[in-house]
A and B are shown apart, each in its own frame.
Chain A
Amino acid sequence: MFIIPKEKEVPLGCITPAPVTEQTMMITGNWREYRPVIDQEKCNLCMNCIVYCPDACWQLNEAEDEVVWNAKYCKGCLICVNECTTEALSKAYELDFEDGVVRLEKPF
């Protein structure tokens, strides 16, 4: 028999569970240098930020009257800002926020 340290365990044949709504083993929010900031007043729900985000980090809220940003996974590519049709989105330096990413504390 072999002793396998917990942190090195691999499931049999490397077959892993599928995620459901997010993959919490790969949190990417701390990659950001900038974050997109929304002015809900200006948003007309054109959906561009939702469809164009490679990381599915913009979704409609339950009432479907506002878009909601996912800070946990947004990598800060800013495609959403570039594609926003109403200038509701703008970019802001991540370190200007109190909850801003402290870069490289936990790389990924």
Chain B
Amino acid sequence: MAVAVKTQNLPLIKKIRNIPREEYYVPGHRTCAGCGPALQYKLVAKAAGPNTIFLGPTGCMYVANASYLCTPYRVPWMHTQITNGGAVASGVEAAYQVLIRKGKREGELPNVIVMAGDGGSVDIGLQAMSAMMYRNHDALFVCYDNEAYANTGIQTSPTTPYGANTTFTPPGPAIPEGKKLFPKDPPQLVIGGHPAVKYVATASVAYPVDLMNKVRKALNVQGPTFLHIHAPCPKGWKFNESKTVEIAKLAIQTGMWILYEWENGEYKYQHKPREYKPVREYMKLQGRFAHLQEAHIAKMQAFVDAKLKAPGIPVAVPAPPPRAQA
């Protein structure tokens, strides 16, 4: 039985000057000014190029992009429910496998990319994402992480950081820190339980060449791949919209976000700071953390320190021991 395969080898981008000129996520969308998720969408679409089909689970990148009978997607795009991005992508990929095999479609297997928010990836969308990966569909699942259900008015999601003020975790006298729980770790969820997945990476809008190259590497791999992209949200995190990239960079400089690739079982780290800044530097720019007390910030620092130690990254900032978790 013939199998439709991708023979493409999207070249890696060496210098920022060489990024592709063509846009596949074009101007004319209703995302907020300074939107991190919109920025990552532009970069992912640019890296993927014309032979691409996007599946868009409900979320900001549906509601704010695909508005009132128009979308900014130059390549085919379909809305999916917030629940089923991975499943619909599985169907699209399976259809192309059989249609190419039967000679009903010509050319290369398209890049099938799910562009899901954190909720559509690791909360209500987790089952569909996991199954797509288990079944070895040749598709890229992108989790653009703005760390909340932003489109519905900034409610907490499983990736919302500890201590964040969201509309479901408002701080008050009884719960001074707002969000008491610590977040899920999406790439580790994927790596830990999906043997069919050979490539997983984290990326950030602060490092666009790195991000685009990770998209291309993921698309060059046969089989399911996963990208976890940090995408700051000015509205949800309460910072000035000109600071989206600055905040994203600070996340990496403080260890709040770690850039790495996991390829065939091996980790490689990118843009690792020589010395980490205290998480306070990152948190103080964001209104969602404005209510926190010193003890809460120390707890966050301890959480980050523990995380940085795990993959063998030295911790520069001494941190107090973590308090009992909520």
Contacts and interface: CB of A to CB of B under 8 A. Distances in A.
Answer yes or no: A and B touching, Cβ < 8 Å: yes
Interface string A1-27: 000000000110010101111111111
Contacts of A25: 28, 68-70
Contact of A77 (B16, B29, B33): B33
Contacts of A54: 31, 34-36, 38-39, 42, 244
17 contacts: A16-B70, A18-B74, A19-B73, A20-B26, A21-B26, A22-B26, A23-B72, A26-B70, A26-B72, A31-B33, A51-B209, A52-B208, A54-B42, A55-B29, A55-B42, A76-B33, A83-B245
Contacts of B39: 52-54, 79
B33 A26 contact: no
Interface string A64-108: 000000101101111101110000000000000000000000001
A43 interface: no
B17 A47 contact: yes
B71 A23 contact: yes
B21 A60 contact: yes
Interface of A: 10-11, 14, 16, 18-28, 31, 45-48, 50-57, 59-60, 70, 72-73, 75-79, 81-83, 108
A8 to B, nearest CB: 10
Interface string B189-210: 0000000000000000100110
A77 B34 contact: yes
Contacts of A20: 26, 74
B303 to A, nearest CB: 29
Interface of B: 16-17, 19, 21, 23, 25-36, 38-39, 42-43, 67-77, 205, 208-209, 234, 241-246
Nearest to A27: B28
B78 to A, nearest CB: 9
Contact of B23 (A18, A21, A75, A83): A21
B43 A22 contact: no
Contacts of B77: 18
Contacts of A108: 30
A66 to B, nearest CB: 14
In the A-B complex, list the 5 residue pairs whose CB atoms are closest, starting with the nearest.
A23-B28, A77-B34, A73-B27, A77-B33, A25-B70
A52 B205 CA distance: 8
Contacts of B245: 52, 79, 82-83
Contact of A26 (B25, B34, B67, B241): B67
Nearest to B206: A52
Given A19-B71, A55-B27, 11 more contacts: A14-B69, A19-B70, A22-B28, A23-B27, A52-B39, A54-B244, A55-B31, A56-B23, A75-B32, A82-B246, A83-B245
A18 B73 contact: yes
Identify the interface centre among A10, A57, A75: most chain B CB within 10 Å of its CB. A75
A75 B27 CA distance: 10
A77 B242 contact: yes
